[in-house]
Amino acid sequence: MHTIIDRRELTKGDMISITVEAPAIAKKIHPGQFVVLRVNETGERTPLTVAYKDEVHGTITIIFQVLGKTTAMLASLKIGDAIKDLVGPLGCDERFTKVGTVVGIGGGSGIAVLHHIMQGYAEVGNTLIGIIGAREKALLILEDEMEALCERLLVTTDDGSYGMHGLVTDALSRLVEEQVHIDQVVAVGPLIMMRAVCEMTKLYEIPTLVSLNPIMVDGTGMCGGCRVTVGGETKFACVDGPHFDGHKVDFDELMQRNMMYARDERTSLLTSIRAR
Amino acid sequence: MKKSENESRSILAGTELSTFCPHCHQALNVFDPATRKIWVRLAVSVHGAKGELLLSPQFDVFERQADIELSEGIVVDDLSCPRCGESLVEQQACEECGSPAARLVIYAQSKLVDFSICTKVGCHWHGMSRADQAKIKPKVSRQKKPEQDALLRIRNFNEVSYGLDRELALVEASRCLDCKKPACIAACPVEVDIPGFIRLIREGNFVEAARLVKQKNALPAVCGRVCPQDDQCEKACLLGKKEEPVAIGNLERFVADFERETDSVAIPRKAPPTGKRVAVVGSGPAGLTMAADMVTKGHSVTVFESLHKPGGVLVYGIPEFRLPKAIVESEIDYLRRLGVKIELNSIVGRLYTIEELFASGYDAVFVGTGAGLPVFMKLPGENLCNILSANEYLTRINLMKAYAFPEYDTPAPRGRQVAVLGGGNVAMDCARTAVRMGSREVSIIYRRTRDEMPARTEETEHAEQEGVKFRLLTNPIRFIGDDRRWVKQMECVQMQLGEPDASGRPRPIPRAGSNFLMDVDMVIVAVGAGPNPVLFSGSPDLERTDRGYVKAYTPSGRTSIPGVWAGGDIVTGSATVILAMGAARQAANDMHAYLMDGKKEWV
């Protein structure tokens, strides 16, 4: 059992940050790695990327958007409640190297993951530029944290309620127009955003790392549910990833695969709401 | 009447046996034309009078005629052979009345057997030694265990076989020939004393029988259900040469279930604590055996399991209808009562490395992580939606209880026309699970014929009874999706069998131009499994084979790292529960010797 010691709503009831006790995991987890959790006995095993770790206090922080039943249940937990099962660290331990200027692009709850990865890039002395986007101002998270980490931060909103009016790719275009030298792009967010970013960086031949979050059961390489085609080869996101060369990922296939249980996910959520 | 007499009576009921004198070996049987019956003729003396006694050789009748007065209840002075005159009366006494007994030789089932009768007139006792009873018992065919009806069971996940009950088990146990040199023991990877435990069943000593099995096999209730007996002990059974072999697996299951259901499970005496600590990686059959062995030898044992439930393949792989999870739980509970600590949600290789285990005070490590990585066929279209590995399908349904969705949150993939690729036990499990999940048409696609299928006979039979179709000599070559990238068709090619390949099985060869399309909306790939690399990410020094399995010496199980043993599927590749347990037992013996012997030599 892992007790929740802190819980914050980053946006109105939609984007939640929880900090749980997990001393062994906190000691081992690196930026970009994830955990699989199960809220209770009937719960589903759900992979979630870790946003912060605190080795000293033995905690990890997970930031998630409420999308389905598991995240809704997770959001309903209060400080002092416990998560039944928590396993990690999962995914490859990405070794960050000094490449020069790294542009980190984050969308939605992906910003939390991006922030952790950018910390990894910062530690080895890269120059960081951040681009973060959300549908509207109220849904934007971690702006201050990103601001503190990056030399420059561009913020976009789809509706223009804050920052640049437009998408994260528009902000990336601006950087390119300004002829900012970019050695590496890291994109974390909705698949459609990562695909758009990759299409663009492919044109400019900028290496691009993406962090994928496909459907998985165990997270340890056992089920193969998380397979993704990368450069024509099948990879398991849980053990070969979750970071891949974005230019090689078959996003269309992944988008369809991530929809496989869409109907069941709705049923699950509706049944639990009706049961209340 | 005594029980032993009852037994031999029922065995001999209605039989007419040839009898001989034990001294001169001449026949005692005579044909009496008057009565048109065969009698056993003996010389008898009573109170000085000598005469002839005729006994019916139908031992259940025991009719007698004599030419002298034989009143009921008297003990005759002597019974002798009318041909050589030697007395037949011996030291052995009648078990019923204590009178002296006479010995004859009877001929039954191609054997000469000693047979005793009582010398007291009217006492119907006759006796044989137990071994002799086994030799002359009439043919009893192999007992079938009762099962759920096929039409009923495809609608539930309850166990298909109910197992033998007491009576059936007694009858089945009576079939064992109790061979002098039992081939079955040698054919068992953990060398269970099979004739020994069957003997105890015959004596009605079921709990003792279970304990005898447990001396060699820590998980009898599991092995009785999932072992490939038809390839091991039952294949070696001498009875199997002429008729069907003794149902050893069913008997093993019976005693284990009896012990558990009657709460007779006793915790064996442990050796005094040695102060040594053993880390076991993986809680499948190998890990559990290692843990049980080492904890009884007095070591402190911790098992690390990456999933949220212990049991490995026993909980995520083998379905409820074949191995009820309550049984696995009780086996694990037994280990906990023995003092084994189990740490769930702990991935060795990620959370701890093998080095760190040593650093935190463990003296030895056993790697039993199994073959958990699903193998795909690398065919075009294999990543279409609703094509999934057997591991994923079974894990969702068994471990995550997706059959109870939405009560449990994990959804199960569904299909109307399901193709399961492969011919092993896992393929059968998937196909039978799909039937229970309501799929209309479930087919096994296998590239060889029924004879080469690696699945247990019982599983293929059950699958067939449940309506699973077998498309043999068929191999998929690509998958075709619809506009939403869901699988809708599968292109297959027909095969024919060629020369034997490296595995000794005939090599399947595609028949040119035999391609055809098959409509499917779900495909489960059950063609095997590989070693999971997660453990090795933290321990690159652990030497591995080209195929990624751990290199370990047979039979000790020692690996390239001193203090680290490995066993089970992680060494051999996908095999059986019992082979993993056998390897773990041998590794445990070696580990124990290593820990107790001060010298830390590692060769």
Nearest-CA distance B385 → chain A (Å) = 6
Give the Cα separation of A228 and A245 in Å (integer): 12
* A90-103 pLDDT, tens digit each: 988 877 889 999 99
Q: Residue A157 has what pLDDT?
A: 92
**Do residue A44 and residue B373 have CB atoms under 8 angstroms apart?**
no
The reported pTM is: 0.80
Nearest-CA distance B449 → chain A (Å) = 28
Beta bridge partners of B435: none
Mean pLDDT of B242-262: 91
Q: Which residues of B touch A32 (CB under 8 A)?
A: none
The answer, yes or no, to whether residue B530 has pLDDT greater than 50, is yes
Three-state DSSP class for residue A158: coil
Interface membership of A102 toward B (CB under 8 Å): no
Nearest-CA distance A63 → chain B (Å) = 21
* Contact in structure between B375 and B424 (CB atoms under 8 Å): no
* Contact in structure between B315 and B272 (CB atoms under 8 Å): no
Mean pLDDT score of chain A, rounded to an integer? 90
Which H or E run contains B318? none
Interface membership of B380 toward A (CB under 8 Å): no
**Do residue A224 and residue B374 have CB atoms under 8 angstroms apart?**
yes
Nearest to A44 among B372, B392, B410 (CB): B410
Preferred mutation among B308, B388, B479 to probe A, highest tally of A CBs within 10 A = B308
Distances from the Cα of B68 to the Cαs of A162, B45, B58, B77, in angstroms?
A: 125, 9, 22, 13
Percent of chain B whose predicted confidence (pLDDT) is above 70: 92
Rounded to whole angstroms, the maximal C-alpha distance in chain A is: 56
Give the Cα separation of A48 and B552 in Å (integer): 36
Q: Residue A12 has what pLDDT?
A: 77
Domain boundaries, chain B: 3-136, 152-261, 277-372+530-596, 376-527
Give the Cα separation of B82 and A58 in Å (integer): 96
End-to-end CA separation in angstroms for chain B: 64
Task: Give A139's DSSP letter.
Answer: G
**Do residue B532 and residue A234 have CB atoms under 8 angstroms apart?**
no
Preferred mutation among B350, B391, B400, B536 to probe A, highest tally of A CBs within 10 A = B350
Per the omega criterion (within 30 degrees of 0), is the bond before A89 cis?
Answer: yes
Residue type, B54: L
Nearest-CA distance B113 → chain A (Å) = 59
The answer, yes or no, to whether residue B522 has pLDDT greater than 90, is yes
Q: Residue B127 has what pLDDT?
A: 59
Task: Give B312's DSSP letter.
Answer: T
Q: Which residues of B touch A24 (CB under 8 A)?
A: 346, 351-352
Task: Give B534's DSSP letter.
Answer: H
Residue type, A34: F
Q: Which residues of A touch B308 (CB under 8 A)?
A: 38, 45, 84-85, 87
The answer, yes or no, to whether residue B576 has pLDDT greater than 70, is yes
**HSE value, Cβ hemisphere, 13 Å, CA-based, for B91:** 0
Give the Cα separation of B437 and B592 in Å (integer): 46
Mean pLDDT of B244-266: 91
Q: Residue B59 has what pLDDT?
A: 54
Residue count of chain A: 276
Give the list of residues 6+ apart from residue A42 with CB closer than 8 angstroms, or none: B401, B407, B408, B409
Chain B: residue nearest A259 by CA? Answer: B385
Interface membership of A72 toward B (CB under 8 Å): no
Q: Residue B99 has what pLDDT?
A: 83
Mean pLDDT of B587-603: 85
Per the omega criterion (within 30 degrees of 0), is the bond before B406 cis?
Answer: yes
Interface membership of A71 toward B (CB under 8 Å): no
Percent of chain B whose predicted confidence (pLDDT) is above 90: 48
Nearest to A43 among B388, B389, B409 (CB): B409
The domain B376-527: what is its CATH number?
3.50.50.60
* A191-203 pLDDT, tens digit each: 999 999 999 999 9
Interface membership of B531 toward A (CB under 8 Å): no
Q: Which residues of A touch B376 (CB under 8 A)?
A: 224, 227, 234
More confident residue, B567 or B598: B567
Give the Cα separation of B245 and B24 in Å (integer): 37
**Do residue A87 and residue B308 have CB atoms under 8 angstroms apart?**
yes
Cα B564 to chain centroid, rounded: 30
**Do residue B406 and residue A221 have CB atoms under 8 angstroms apart?**
no
**Do residue A222 and residue B532 have CB atoms under 8 angstroms apart?**
yes
Q: Which residues 11-70 of B are in CB contact (within 8 Å) with A?
A: none
Distances from the Cα of B542 to the Cαs of A271, B533, B534, B536, B586, in angstroms?
A: 48, 11, 12, 7, 20
* B89-143 pLDDT, tens digit each: 887 777 778 888 888 887 665 566 777 788 888 776 665 544 455 455 555 778 8
Chain A: residue nearest B378 by CA? Answer: A234
Chain B: residue nearest A68 by CA? Answer: B409
Domain boundaries, chain A: 2-90, 101-258
Mean pLDDT score of chain B, rounded to an integer? 86
Interface membership of B484 toward A (CB under 8 Å): yes
Mean pLDDT of B518-533: 92
Interface membership of A62 toward B (CB under 8 Å): no
Interface membership of A85 toward B (CB under 8 Å): yes
Sign of the dihedral defined by the CA atoms of residues B8, B10, B15, B16, in that order: positive
**Do residue A220 and residue B534 have CB atoms under 8 angstroms apart?**
yes
Interface membership of A273 toward B (CB under 8 Å): no
The domain A2-90: what is its CATH number?
2.40.30.10
Report phi then psi at B88, rounded to 5.
Answer: -100, -10
Q: Residue B299 has what pLDDT?
A: 95
- Ranges of H-type helices in B13-129: none
* A60-72 pLDDT, tens digit each: 999 998 888 888 8
Interface membership of B356 toward A (CB under 8 Å): no
Q: Residue B17 has what pLDDT?
A: 65
Nearest-CA distance A223 → chain B (Å) = 4
Nearest to B392 among A44, A92, A225 (CB): A225
Pairing of strands A184-188, A208-211: parallel
Residue type, B244: E
Q: Which residues of A touch B385 (CB under 8 A)?
A: 256-257, 259-260
The domain B152-261: what is its CATH number?
1.10.1060.10
Pairing of strands B341-343, B300-304: parallel
Per the omega criterion (within 30 degrees of 0), is the bond before B555 cis?
Answer: yes
Nearest-CA distance A28 → chain B (Å) = 6
- Ranges of H-type helices in B276-353: 285-296, 313-316, 325-338
The answer, yes or no, to whether residue B13 has pLDDT greater than 50, is no
Q: Residue B60 has what pLDDT?
A: 47
Give the list of residues 6+ apart from residue A24 with CB closer than 8 angstroms, or none: B346, B351, B352
Give the Cα separation of B135 and B137 in Å (integer): 6
Give the list of residues 6+ apart from residue B167 with CB closer than 8 angstroms, or none: none
Give the Cα separation of A164 and A141 in Å (integer): 16
Token pair for B584: 């773990």
The ipTM estimated for the assembled molecules is 0.91
Residue reference for tokens 């959300």: A134
Report phi then psi at A204, rounded to 5.
Answer: -90, 5
Chain A: residue nearest B392 by CA? Answer: A223
Nearest to A229 among B383, B389, B532 (CB): B383
Quick one: which of B420, B394, B423, B412 has its CA closest to B490? B420
pLDDT in tens, chain A (276 residues): 899 999 988 887 688 999 999 999 999 898 889 999 999 888 899 999 888 889 999 999 999 988 888 888 888 899 999 999 999 899 888 778 899 999 999 998 899 999 999 999 999 999 999 999 998 888 888 889 999 999 999 999 999 888 899 899 999 999 988 988 999 999 999 999 999 999 999 999 999 999 998 898 988 888 999 999 999 999 999 889 899 999 999 999 999 998 888 888 888 888 777 765
Q: Which residues of B touch A93 (CB under 8 A)?
A: 537
Nearest to B351 among A25, A43, A224 (CB): A25
Give the Cα separation of B346 and A100 in Å (integer): 37
Task: Give B348's DSSP letter.
Answer: B
The answer, yes or no, to whether residue B5 has pLDDT greater than 50, is no
In CATH terms, are B152-261 and B277-372+530-596 the same topology? Answer: no
Q: Residue B110 has what pLDDT?
A: 53
**CATH superfamily membership of B277-372+530-596:** FAD/NAD(P)-binding domain (3.50.50.60)
Task: Tell me how crowded residue B351 is: count the other CB atoms within 10 A of its CB.
Answer: 23
* B459-496 pLDDT, tens digit each: 999 999 999 999 999 999 999 999 989 999 999 999 99
Q: Residue B75 has what pLDDT?
A: 85
Packing angle, helices B577-596 and B285-296, rounded to 10: 30
**Do residue B411 and residue A253 have CB atoms under 8 angstroms apart?**
no
Q: Which residues of A touch B351 (CB under 8 A)?
A: 24-25, 28, 88-89
Mean pLDDT of B498-506: 84
Interface membership of B590 toward A (CB under 8 Å): no
* Contact in structure between A205 and A183 (CB atoms under 8 Å): no
Residue type, A161: S
Q: Residue B10 has what pLDDT?
A: 44
Question: DSSP assignment of B473-527, as one string?
Answer: SEEEEEEEE-TTSBEEEEEEEEEEEEEE-TTSSEEEEEPTT--EEEE-SEEEE-S
Give the list of residues 6+ apart from residue A178 with CB closer than 8 angstroms, or none: none
Token pair for B117: 């009768």
Chain B: residue nearest A86 by CA? Answer: B345
* Contact in structure between B293 and B216 (CB atoms under 8 Å): no
Domain A101-258 = CATH 3.40.50.80: yes
Mean pLDDT of B419-438: 94
Q: Residue B113 has what pLDDT?
A: 73
